[in-house]
Chains A and B, each alone.
Chain A
Amino acid sequence: MAPALVWLTALMVVPCALVLALAFFRRGIYGGIEYTFTLENFGLVFDPLYAGIFLKSARIAGTATLIAVLIGYAAAYAISAAPRRLQPVFLFFAVLPFWSNYLIRTYAWIVLLNREGLITQLLRWFGYTGEPPSMLYTEGAVIAGLVYSYLPFVILACYAPLSRLNPELAEASRDLGASAMTTFRRVILPLTVPGIAAGAVFVFVLSIGNFVTPALLGGGRFQMIGNLVYDQFLTANDWPFGAALAMALIAIMLLVLMAQALAADRASGRAAEAKGNADG
Chain B
Amino acid sequence: MSEPRTLLAIDHVSKNFGRVTAVDGISLDIRENEFFALLGPSGCGKTTLLRMLAGFETPSDGRILLDGRDIARTPPNKRPVNLMFQSYALFPHMSVRANVSYGLEMERLPAAEIRSRVDAILATTELVPFADRKPEQLSGGQKQRVALARALVKRPRLLLLDEPLGALDKKLRGAMQLELKRLQHEVGITFVIVTHDQEESLVMADRMAVLRDGKLLQCDTPHTVYEHPADRFVADFIGVMNFVPGKVATDGVMASNGARIAGKVPAALPPGASAVASVRPERIRLFPEIQTANRTTGTVEALAYHGLDLQLHVRTPLSPKPFLVRVTADAADRRPVSSGDQVELGWDAADVRIFAE
A-to-B contact residues, CB < 8 Å: 166, 168-169, 171-179, 182, 186-187, 190-191, 271, 274-275, 277-278
Nearest-Cβ distance from residue B34 to partner chain A, whole angstroms: 21
User: Across the interface, which residues of A come within 8 angstroms of B107, CB to CB?
Assistant: 177
Nearest-Cβ distance from residue A101 to partner chain B, whole angstroms: 41
User: Across the interface, which residues of B come within 8 angstroms of A174, CB to CB?
Assistant: 55-56, 75-77
10 A-B pairs with least C-beta separation = A177-B106, A176-B103, A172-B89, A168-B89, A278-B137, A174-B76, A177-B77, A274-B137, A168-B85, A175-B83
In the complex, which residue of chain A has the Cβ closest to the Cβ of B80? Answer: A177
Report the tally of A-B residue pairs with Cβ distances under 8 A.
70
In the complex, which residue of chain A has the Cβ closest to the Cβ of B147? Answer: A172
Q: Which of A168, A171, A172, A187 has most chain B Cβ within 10 Å?
A: A172
A117 to B57 Cα, complex, angstroms: 49
Question: Is the Cβ of B89 less than 8 Å from the Cβ of A171?
Answer: yes
Which of A173, A179, A278 sits near B136, CB closer than 8 Å? A278
- The prevalent SS among residues of B at the interface is loop
Flag whether B91 is at the interface (Cβ < 8 A).
Answer: yes
A271 to B76 Cα, complex, angstroms: 32
Which of A169, A175, A177, A178 sits near B54, CB closer than 8 Å? A175
A271 to B138 Cα, complex, angstroms: 13
Which of A169, A177, A187, A278 sits near B138, CB closer than 8 Å? A278
Given A174-B55, A176-B102, A186-B102, 18 further pairs, Cβ under 8 A: A171-B56, A171-B85, A172-B89, A172-B90, A173-B91, A175-B76, A175-B77, A175-B82, A176-B103, A176-B154, A178-B106, A179-B77, A191-B93, A271-B136, A274-B133, A274-B134, A274-B136, A278-B136
Flag whether B87 is at the interface (Cβ < 8 A).
Answer: yes
User: Across the interface, which residues of B come within 8 angstroms of A278, CB to CB?
Assistant: 133, 136-139
* 6 intermolecular pairs with C-beta atoms under 8 Å apart: A171-B76, A175-B54, A178-B106, A179-B77, A274-B133, A278-B139
For residues 149 through 195 of chain B, which have their beta carbon under 8 Å from a beta carbon of chain A? Answer: 150-151, 154
Question: Is the Cβ of A173 less than 8 Å from the Cβ of B102?
Answer: yes
A175 to B56 Cα, complex, angstroms: 9
Nearest-Cβ distance from residue B319 to partner chain A, whole angstroms: 45
- The prevalent SS among residues of A at the interface is helix
Q: Which of A174, A176, A275 has most chain B Cβ within 10 Å?
A: A176
A131 to B93 Cα, complex, angstroms: 54
User: Across the interface, which residues of B come within 8 angstroms of A177, CB to CB?
Assistant: 77, 103, 106-107, 154
A166 to B92 Cα, complex, angstroms: 10
A174 to B54 Cα, complex, angstroms: 10
Total interface residues on B, using CB and 8 Å?
28
Nearest-Cβ distance from residue B253 to partner chain A, whole angstroms: 48
A179 to B93 Cα, complex, angstroms: 19
User: Across the interface, which residues of A come within 8 angstroms of B55, CB to CB?
Assistant: 174-175
A177-B107, A177-B154 in contact; A172/B91 too (CB < 8 A)? yes
Which of A173, A178, A191, A275 sits near B92, CB closer than 8 Å? A191
User: Across the interface, which residues of A come within 8 angstroms of B56, CB to CB?
Assistant: 171, 174
A191 to B135 Cα, complex, angstroms: 14
Contact with A along B14-47 (1 / 0, CB 8 A): 0000000000000000000000000000000000
Question: Is the Cβ of B89 less than 8 Å from the Cβ of A277?
Answer: no
Nearest-Cβ distance from residue A193 to partner chain B, whole angstroms: 9
Which of A168, A175, A178 sits near B87, CB closer than 8 Å? A168
In the complex, which residue of chain A has the Cβ closest to the Cβ of B108? Answer: A177
A106 to B77 Cα, complex, angstroms: 47
A171 to B55 Cα, complex, angstroms: 10
Question: Is the Cβ of B136 less than 8 Å from the Cβ of A187?
Answer: no
User: Across the interface, which residues of B come within 8 angstroms of A179, CB to CB?
Assistant: 77
User: Across the interface, which residues of B come within 8 angstroms of A191, CB to CB?
Assistant: 92-93
Question: Is the Cβ of A190 less than 8 Å from the Cβ of B106?
Answer: no
A168 to B88 Cα, complex, angstroms: 8
A174 to B76 Cα, complex, angstroms: 6
A191 to B151 Cα, complex, angstroms: 21
A269 to B134 Cα, complex, angstroms: 14
User: Across the interface, which residues of A come within 8 angstroms of B102, CB to CB?
Assistant: 173, 176, 178, 186
A41 to B328 Cα, complex, angstroms: 96
Question: Is the Cβ of A275 less than 8 Å from the Cβ of B137?
Answer: yes
Nearest-Cβ distance from residue A171 to partner chain B, whole angstroms: 6
For residues 67 through 122 of chain B, which have their beta carbon under 8 Å from a beta carbon of chain A? Answer: 75-77, 82-83, 85, 87, 89-93, 102-103, 106-107
A169 to B82 Cα, complex, angstroms: 14
A171-B76, A175-B54, A175-B77 in contact; A166/B89 too (CB < 8 A)? yes
User: Across the interface, which residues of A come within 8 angstroms of B87, CB to CB?
Assistant: 166, 168
User: Across the interface, which residues of A come within 8 angstroms of B54, CB to CB?
Assistant: 175
A167 to B239 Cα, complex, angstroms: 35
User: Across the interface, which residues of A come within 8 angstroms of B91, CB to CB?
Assistant: 169, 172-173, 187
